[in-house]
Structure 1
Amino acid sequence: MSKSRNKENKMNYNKLGWIKASTYRQNILRSLEAGPKTPKELAEENEYRMSHVSRTLSNLKEKGLVECLNPDCRKGRLYALTDEGKEMIKVI
């Protein structure tokens, strides 16, 4: 296996560990598995405060696991899993 492939695997395992370290991250990702949702829908579905959902979505977005589908909207922003997020969901 090449060095670049080893580095890629290690990065994925680091992200996987990061996801598994938080039930918020795991539950938000699982909720998005069904399709795009607004932060409000995620908060209601998981019985989380909006501040927790917003922070979690921001962190997941920084890691490239979720994306905002309509970032220009102030209200009704929709979030969805990225391809990498979909791969991670299979493992958690």
Structure 2
Amino acid sequence: MENERNEDATNDWDQIGFIISSKYRTAVLEQLVESPSTPSSIASRTGLPITHVSRALRSLRDRSLVELLVSKEKRKGRIYGVTERGQHLWKRIETEGLID
């Protein structure tokens, strides 16, 4: 049981390090914690290029921190939301004061 908790804590820090090592991933996750959104909406609110937003979404999705809320086949109007895991890690990032 103790080992499991230590592995979870290590995994949390690995994921947190992954998120905060990119201003794009940090900005995208922050937007999605506030509410589900489309890539173009995230780009316009943050001032980030859409290509960086899309790349950040893909990498966060690969780690199950964000999810596509519409059908995979949908090409326009893709809406993304944060997963429970992403929400948990974002709270840790804020609690630990790891973002400006």
Q: TM-score range by the shorter chain?
A: over 0.9
Deviation track 1:8-32 (CA, whole Å, cap 9, x = no partner) reads 1111110011111111111111111
Deviation track 1:33-65 (CA, whole Å, cap 9, x = no partner) reads 121100000110111111101100000001110
Partner of 2:85: 84
CA distance in structure 2 between the partners assigned to 1:9 and 1:91 by the alignment = 11
SS at match of 1:33: helix
SS at match of 2:73: coil
Residue 37 (structure 2) pairs with residue 37 (structure 1): yes
CA distance in structure 1 between the partners assigned to 2:90 and 2:10 by the alignment = 17
CA distance in structure 1 between the partners assigned to 2:8 and 2:90 by the alignment = 18
**Deviating 4+ runs (over 2 angstroms):** none
Q: CA RMSD in A?
A: 1.1
Give the TM-score taking structure 1 as reference length: 0.93
1:91: how far off? Answer: 2.1
* Structure 2: tracts of 5 or more residues without a match: 94-100
Letter in structure 2 aligned against 1:74: R
* Structure 1: tracts of 5 or more residues without a match: none
Residue 37 (structure 2) pairs with residue 74 (structure 1): no
1:72: how far off? Answer: 2.7
Identity of aligned residues (%): 36
1:1-92 equivalences under 5 Å are: 2-70=2-70, 71-92=72-93
CA distance in structure 2 between the partners assigned to 1:8 and 1:89 by the alignment = 15
